[in-house]
């Protein structure tokens, strides 16, 4: 379906944009950057918040968790465990297995059963878990760039609840492609300007400079449309001098 492709392509364009902007992400694989994009757009919408790149623990022997963080929007130091799948299509089994791995990882960490999980993952979990209090929630998040396509959230939620003690502090959040696109757009709407973008002009060096703050060029209408599709009205917001 075109709807599915448009959401996936939108997410892909955001991943490419992040790799162009951030030198630390430039040579990372798309799966890694997708984890950053998903976590950042969901939990770090406030432009005053800085996403801790060390939250991404995806790698060899990560125990099935891709990111670990404390929810910066929570006063109770909620612990967030994230698994992400940069897929175009996904099945119920894929989602169920990912959630099961997250729960197994959490239980193993709590029980001190570290197995072959790499040290940096163990250390980060233990440090964050030390901040968890009686009022804290443990939030399991699953992100995928694929559409839901009939996968029943209630079915996944039921299996999740059956795998943990009957405790209100445990919460599962599922984000499919359309959910993530909405999170990204909400995050972008809170930024007053566009951080960066790429334009194509008619020929090399064909531009007029006006001091340090402005230039005039003949640019491709397609690239302008593409930038607007990614950034919305933020593209036309004037950046004020501080």
Each residue of 73-94: pLDDT tens digit?
Answer: 999 999 999 999 999 999 999 9
Low-confidence ranges of the chain (pLDDT < 50): 1, 239-242
So what's the pLDDT on residue 234?
62
What's the token pair of residue 224? 């302008």
By CB atoms closer than 10 A (0-12, 13-18, 19+), residue 225 is exposed
**Phi then psi for 12, rounded to 5 degrees?**
-60, -40
Closest CA to 99 of 186, 161, 187: 161
So what's the pLDDT on residue 231?
67
C-alpha 153/C-alpha 155 separation (Å) is: 5
Task: Using DSSP, state whether 34 is helix, strand or coil.
Answer: helix
So what's the pLDDT on residue 235?
66
C-alpha 145/C-alpha 166 separation (Å) is: 30
Tell me the torsion sign for CA atoms 155, 157, 163, 165.
negative
Task: Using DSSP, state whether 170 is helix, strand or coil.
Answer: strand
DSSP code at position 7: H
pTM of the model: 0.78
How many CB atoms are located within 10 Å of the residue 57 CB? 23
So what's the pLDDT on residue 188?
86
């Amino acid at each position: 379906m075109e709807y599915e492709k448009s959401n996936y392509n939108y997410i892909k364009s955001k991943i490419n944009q992040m790799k162009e902007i951030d030198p630390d992400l430039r040579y990372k694989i798309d799966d890694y950057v997708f984890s950053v994009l998903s976590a950042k757009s969901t939990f770090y919408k406030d432009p005053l918040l800085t996403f801790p790149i060390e939250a991404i623990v995806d790698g060899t022997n990560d125990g099935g968790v891709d990111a670990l963080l404390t929810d910066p929007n929570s006063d109770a130091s909620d612990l967030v465990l994230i698994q992400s799948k940069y897929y175009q299509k996904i099945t119920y089994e894929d989602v169920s297995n990912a959630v099961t791995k997250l729960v197994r990882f959490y239980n193993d960490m709590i029980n001190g059963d570290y197995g072959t999980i790499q040290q940096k993952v163990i250390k980060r979990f233990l440090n964050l878990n030390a901040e968890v209090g009686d009022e804290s929630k443990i939030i399991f998040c699953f992100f995928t760039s694929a559409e839901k396509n009939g996968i029943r959230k209630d079915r996944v939620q039921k299996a999740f609840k059956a795998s943990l003690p009957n405790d209100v502090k445990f919460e599962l959040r599922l984000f499919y492609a359309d959910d993530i696109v909405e999170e990204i757009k909400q995050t972008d709407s809170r930024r007053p300007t566009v951080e960066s973008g790429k334009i194509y002009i008619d020929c090399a060096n064909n531009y007029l400079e006006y001091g340090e703050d402005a230039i005039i060029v003949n640019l491709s209408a397609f690239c302008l449309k593409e930038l607007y599709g990614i950034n919305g009205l933020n593209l036309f917001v004037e950046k004020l001098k501080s």
